[in-house]
Structures are given as structure tokens and as C-alpha cells.
Amino acid sequence: MEESSFVRPLSVRTGGPLKSTLSGRSTPRGSPSFRRLNSVRTPRGYGQIDVFGSQWFRSNRIVLWLLLITLWAYGGFYFQSRWAHGDNKEGIFGGRDDEPSEEVPQIGEGKQRDLVANNEPVNLQTKSNTNNLGADLTEKQKGVPSRKPNKGKRAARGSRRKLRGKQTEVEKVEGNDDVQEEEIPKQNTTYGLLVGPFGTIEDRILEWSPEKRSGTCDRKGPFARLVWSRKFVLIFHEMSMTGAPLAMLELATEFLSCGATVSVVALSKKGGLMPELERRKIKVLDEKSDLSFKTAMKADLVIAGSAVSASWIEKYLQRTVLGTSQIVWWIMENRREYFDQSKTVLNRVKKLVFLSELQSKQWLAWCEEENITLKSGFALVPLSISDELSFAAGIPSTLNTPSFSPEKMLEKRQLLRESVRKEMGLTDDDTLVITLSSINPGKGQFELLESVRLIFKEGLPLTTSGLEDVAGKGEDHHSRTLLQNRKQAGRKSDVFPTRRSSRDLAKDQKTRSRRLTIRAKPDTVINGSGRILQFENVVNKETKLKVLIGSVGSKSNKVPYVKLLLKSLSQSPKLLKSVLWTPATTRVASLYAAADVYVMNSQGLGETFGRVTIEAMAFGLPVLGTDSGGTKEIVEHNVTGLLHPMGHPGAQVLAKNLQYMLKNPSARQLMGSAGRSKVKKMYLKKHMFKKMAEVLYSCMRIK
């Protein structure tokens, strides 16, 4: 009985690890004891933490993984984009890209309004840098403590090597500047009549200027998708306002506009394109510094824009074994001396690019003679006119807007023509013939002036007494060729057999154009429709011929040759009054608008391509060109212009072609219209970049 009345005591909860009998599975989940033992001071807060804390993530693991993947992808894209665009200010990628000692001194803004650049500020700055470098080296040699904090022996040795290297490079640059030829004062007292440039008139009439350009890239096109976020290095052989540098400038601008990173390596600072590169925010590197090679190693592709780039390519290939797979060489010359200069590295680049079919055949023939096998073939990428000139010429381009339609621009172009001709002092009866290029024997300005003299019937031929001096002053291939041609022509009669030349030209035209069915007679020219047009041998007295020659002040000019031209003109008063000169400039739309005929009179092997030829055709000008080189491919004889032989015999034919153009304004209009149509079909920017995109696609590693 006593045992039945015994009451079992409740178990007491100890502080040890023993589990309470009221907890766990033995206690109902909804009982007060369970709630008391498993509660905290703030049950509501605990519930929130439990819902939005660990239990929430356990039940939403997919969301967690998606969040982590998103963060990882964003981080990768961020760093890849900074690497591709060269943003390394914090040194994340191993080395600072913004070291001030590695950069080339730039010309400050507003120091030069004209595009005819003067590089004296750059030279002065370079000399001051040389003095500073020498002072630093002297202090280090004497044991004087440096102003900069000590970064260790290894860093000090590296900095000393950089300073010594830069001092040597600056000395070399100054040595090259001493070799520059003397300048001829750009004044009317020197040239007779110097006109232009007319950039201000262009801005006022066209109501648009290149400074307003904000990018012309078609972001949805294949070219933009191919180059976006890529890094390119472009090699300029010089900074003159001639075909090759201007083509490379347009390529760099298009890359930059399409979202790529562009760095330019200038082998020579001669020329007036430095302010233009600065305006377009294109980074220029010194070709002698290590920075140019390091930048090229990080680039997706290196594009060299001239055969003169052979020296830089050879140095670069000595520094990296991967360079052969990332260099595209856009060769824009067609003379043997350039081939000999570059033949050692022709088969070590990824791909060669030529401007014309004749040029490619010539270079391949030379390669075959030297037993050179190209690494991966070649490509043809002809030049094109820029969007700015297409816009000013009234050809549809990416710059057109509803307010500036092509039709509206044609009206403005006529106003521009009238204003510029008035500024030049020309009347409606004057026929303006222009030729724009560097002034040297290879461009044939002397032969052009002799053709004009023949038209004026002005006595003896132009003097060539100084031509031997020009040819003997060095290694100018054009001068030697010109002198040789004139010596051979001197043995012949002064009257060129025009019957034979005209028939030869007509025979060549038969094979090129199905329109031509009749041979030319001695004093006839056949137009594109096959009609025989007669013209007189002597220009009518009411017709006035004016010749505009550019580009005065170009760094590619041969000063002795310019002096020879001026001396010859001084002996021919009537010819002197008919010749105008214009400075080197990129604002050439006003010159094309004011002209009536364009002359491409390149000698030797002829022009490699001739960008100015297609620019003149875009403005509706007939072209009188030599029957050789790229001009022969661009100009269709009797369709878009007239062709003539080179040298002294060609001057006779050129004189007759000029006479025909003077007497037949309707023929000028007909040939100019045909040339303009050809440019629209073959030589716009979209045509060039379509072919360039194919080259880039075949050479770059597509991710």
C-alpha cells in the first residue's frame, strides 16, 4: 500500500549536456513546454530571421546560384572591358599604362588653328626633357639622393635603364630633325598667287564642320560587331596629308567610333596630321620607345600602313614570337626600292593587303624573283572617300540628316563653288584645272606646266637646267626616272606623233569598254557614247585656263624640285599668271567644288591607287591621268576621263586633252557624271570597310 502512494519526483534539468525529458520527440510540438523550451526573448524577431535567413536560402538555392553567377559574369566582363580598353590606372594588370615618362609630348590645344602643322613646340619640349633626363643621370652618378622615394634596388636599376634608353632615343629624334630640308616661305611673293585654305568658307556655307562629327559608325553593322571592345595598333609611316596617312587616319577614326581601342605609332612626326589626331582623341605613341612594342603585344591586331613600316615590324618580331600572327601589312607603294626595303619580313606577317590589282601583281612578281613565299596569301582593299567628302559632294553618307539631305548638299555645293571661285578671283569664263599631291618629280607637276605652255604657244620649252641637280641630290627614284625620260625624249622631235598615241589609246579602250567601236583620228576624242568629238588645235582667246597646284608646305615636298618649278615659271610670264598655289590641308571639299578638271600626272610606275582621283570623281570632275598604275584601273578612257602616256611624250597628249576639255563643257559634264556614278558603286566608305572586315575576320582570333 505504501508503495502505491509513492509519487515519483519530477526530473530536474541540469546544466550538463543531458537532454531534457520534456524536449525532443517526447514533448508534443504544440504544447506550452515545447514552446517555452524552444523560444527566445523575441519570438517575433526570431521568426523573421528564420524566414529571411537560413531557411529562406535553403528553400531558394536556385536563386542563390543565379545571383552568384550574375555577380561572377559582371566581374569578368568589367575587368575584361578595362583590359581591352587599356584602363590600368591602378596597376591591376601588372604595370601602369599611364606612366608620364612613356608618353610622347602632345601639341596643346589652340596653339595651331591651321592644319598645316608646325612642330616646333614638340621639339622644344623634347629638348627640355633631354636636359631633365641628363640632370637626373648626373645626380644619380654623383650619389646625390633622388627626390623620388626609394623603391628598392631592382626598381632603381629598371628606372636607370629606362632613362638611359630614353635619352638615346631623344638624341636620335633630334638627329633626324636636323636632316629636314629647308622651308620655302609660303607667301605670294614666292609663289605668285597663293590661295586658301577655305575651311572658314566651307563651315559657313555647308553649316557643318568636321569638329561637329560625333562618330559615323554603323553599330548594327558587321564591322562594328567585329571590332567592338578590341584593341588595335596602327603604324603610320609619316604624318603628312597624303593618301596613306589619311587612309590610316580614317581607319583609326572608324575603329574608335565603333568602340575599339586605338593606338597610333608614328614612325615620323613630319606632316600636319598631329593636331587632327589630337582632335579625334587618338593616342599617339613614340615608335622608338618600349611602350609601342608593349602596346602592340597586348593588341588584338597590328595594322601597318606602308612599306616603310618594315623597320618597326622587324624590331617588333625580334621581341615576340607571337607577332607573326597578329600583323596585317597594308602596303601602299609600288616601287622596287620599297620592296627591297621590306622583303626580309614580307613572309613573316599574317597577311599582306594591296590597293590595286596591278600593284599586287607587281609585288607578287618581285616575290617570285626573290623566292619569297607569303605566309597566308594577300587581299585587295582599295581606298575610299571619307564620309565628310561624300557629305559635301552630295553623295548619301552616314552624316546626312533630314535637314542635310543629299539634294540639299548639292545646292550648298554650288554655293560653295561660287564663293571659292570669287575668293580666287576667277570668273565664269575661267576653266580651273587642279592637281593636289605632294610636290615632287614623281607627281609630274613639271610635265603639267609644260603641257599648259604648249597650249599657250609660248616659245621654248620650260627650262630643265636644275633637273639634273634635283636628280643628283640623293636617292630620289622619281627624279632619276624623270631625268632619264627627258634625255630620251630630247633625241626625238619636239612634235610628238599624236596619231600613233591616239590610236594606241583607242586600241586599249576597245579591250576595256564595249562602248568604244571606232578608232580615234589625229585631232579627235571619242566620248563614252561612241561619238567622235572634234576640237580645235588652239584655244579660243575668250577661254581662260587656270591651274591650281597643291600642296604647298607639305613635308613630303622636294624643296629643290619646288624651286625648279618656280624658276621655270619666272621665265614664262603668261604661264606664271595662270598658275595658282594652295597650302597643304585636309579641307579640300572647297577646292574640288571650285574646279572643272582634275589632273593625275604621276610618273614612273604611276600612282599606286590615287585617293585624290576618286575624290575628284565624287565631285563630278573628269580626270586626265597617266595610263599606268592604279589610275589606269580607276579612270576609264573616254568614259570617266582621258588617259595619256608618261614623260615628255605624255605632255604633248595631255596638252591636247586639256584643249578638248576647254572647248567641250558638255563632255566635261558627261565624263564627270560617269565618274561620280562609279564612285557610288565602288569607292564609298562602306565598300572599303566591308573588304577590311573580311581581312580582320580572317586574321583575328574570334572569341
Domain ranges of the chain: 228-384+688-699, 430-489+497-683
Whole-number pLDDT of residue 377: 82
Q: What does the alpha-carbon distance between residue 231 and residue 599 come to, in Å, rounded to a whole number?
A: 39
The mean pLDDT of 45-62, rounded to a whole number, is 60
Looking at domain 228-384+688-699, its CATH architecture is: 3-Layer(aba) Sandwich (3.40)
Question: DSSP secondary structure string, 142-191?
Answer: HTPPPSSPP--HHHHHHHHHHHHHHHHHHHHHHHHHTTPPPPPP-SHHHH
Whole-number pLDDT of residue 673: 96
pLDDT band, residue 215 (cuts 50/70/90): low
The mean pLDDT of 92-120, rounded to a whole number, is 40
Out of 36-45, 162-171, 236-245, 575-584, which region has the weakest mean confidence (pLDDT)?
Answer: 162-171
Q: Does pLDDT of 647 surpass 80?
A: yes
Q: Does pLDDT of 98 surpass 60?
A: no
The share of the chain scoring above pLDDT 70, in percent, equals 62
The mean pLDDT of 588-593, rounded to a whole number, is 96
pLDDT per position as a tens digit, 410-446: 999 999 999 999 999 999 999 999 999 999 999 999 9
Whole-number pLDDT of residue 105: 41
Class of domain 430-489+497-683: alpha beta
pLDDT per position as a tens digit, 353-377: 999 999 999 999 999 999 999 888 8
185 vs 514: which has the higher pLDDT? 185
Whole-number pLDDT of residue 202: 92
Q: Do domains 228-384+688-699 and 430-489+497-683 have the same CATH topology?
A: yes
Residue closest to 693 by CA, chosen among 43, 685, 147: 685
DSSP 404: B
Place of cell 523573421: 48
Answer yes or no: are the C-beta atoms of 483 and 468 closer than 8 Å. Answer: yes
The mean pLDDT of 143-152, rounded to a whole number, is 46
| Average per-residue pLDDT for the chain | 74
Give buried/exposed letters for 264-289 (b at 16+ CB in 10 A, else e): bbbbbbbbbbbbbbbebebbbbbbbb
Identify the bridge partners of residue 624 per DSSP, sorted by sequence position.
599, 642
Place of cell 595610263: 627
pTM of the shown model: 0.69
